[in-house]
Every structure is written in C-alpha cells, then in structure tokens.
Structure 1
Amino acid sequence: MPERTDWEAKAANLLKAELKRKGVTYAQLVEKLAEIGVNEKEANVKNKLSRGKFTAAFFLQCLTAIGVRSLQIGLD
C-alpha cells in the first residue's frame, strides 16, 4: 500500500482543521454534502480523511458544504 505523502497529509489536515473550526462533525458533513448533491457515507468520509486520499473535487465540495469562502493555506 502506498504511503501517504506530505501533500496528502497537508490537504487532510487542512480539511480537518476547517471542520473543527466550523464545529462540523463527520456526520454533519455528510448531511451538508447531501444538501449540495454529493452522496457520501460517514464511514467513507472518515476513511478519506484518515488516509488523506481524496480528490481536489471532494476537497472543494467539503469546503463549500461547510461554508468556507476563503482559505489560508499557510504552507511553510
């Protein structure tokens, strides 16, 4: 199994931080994704974020669903 890259870890951590900042649980994220027409199961979302393996489209869908309008990437 391929290892998670630093970039994948950064993307996953960034998304998890935004979820935490907005106070959104994985279950709530699934509901919010459904509201914008994206059907995911909570287990699938947990797996994607724990592995750091998801598409840029999924990343943008999640950010949109939780109402993130701007993002400070802060890659140092």
Structure 2
Amino acid sequence: MAAKGKDWKAKVKGTLKAELKRQGLSYADLAERLSAIGVKDNELNIKNKINRGTFTAIFLFQCLEAIGCRTIHLENL
C-alpha cells in the first residue's frame, strides 16, 4: 500500500531524470556510461524503465554511479 500523499514512482523517476538533466545527459549517453561500468542495456530499454518509474534500487544506483552523482538531497523530493 502506498504511503498517504506520496507518489513514489513519480519521485524516483523525477529524481533520476533531474540528475540526467543537471548533467546534460541523454538516455543514449546514460546507456553508454552504463556500458562503461559493465551494465549492458540499450537506450530504449533505459528510457522505458525510467519513464515507468518501476526500476530496481540496483538500477538507480548503477545510473547514479554512471552519471557521476555522489549526493542526493532527499529534502528536495
């Protein structure tokens, strides 16, 4: 059951999309960077995962590592 007033999918995908935008990266760039750290996936699959907002915590951390994000401020969510 979802917590009252929280759209967790929107928050997690919004956080990742914002970080991509902040870094000036596209989904193709993310696919390339993920590949560089050993995570094989294509641009379309990555885009779909992020837009659904239902990806795993592992995928989130892989993306954050790949784009060089070292800090997330939860108070901004």
Residue 36 of structure 1: aligned partner: 37
Partner Cα distance (1:62, 1:9) in 2: 17
Shift of 1:74: 2.1
Partner Cα distance (2:64, 2:71) in 1: 9
| Runs of at least 5 residues in structure 2 that lack an aligned partner in the other structure | 1-5
TM-score normalised by length of structure 2? 0.87
Cα deviations by residue, 1:26-67 (Å, 9 ceiling, x for unpaired): 000000000000001111011011111100000000000000
8 Å CA contact retained: 1:14, 1:73: no
Question: For the aligned residues, what is the CA RMSD?
Answer: 1.4
Identity of aligned residues (%): 53
Runs ≥4 residues deviating over 2 A = none
| Runs of at least 5 residues in structure 1 that lack an aligned partner in the other structure | none
Map 1:1-76; keep pairs closer than 5 Å: 6-74=7-75
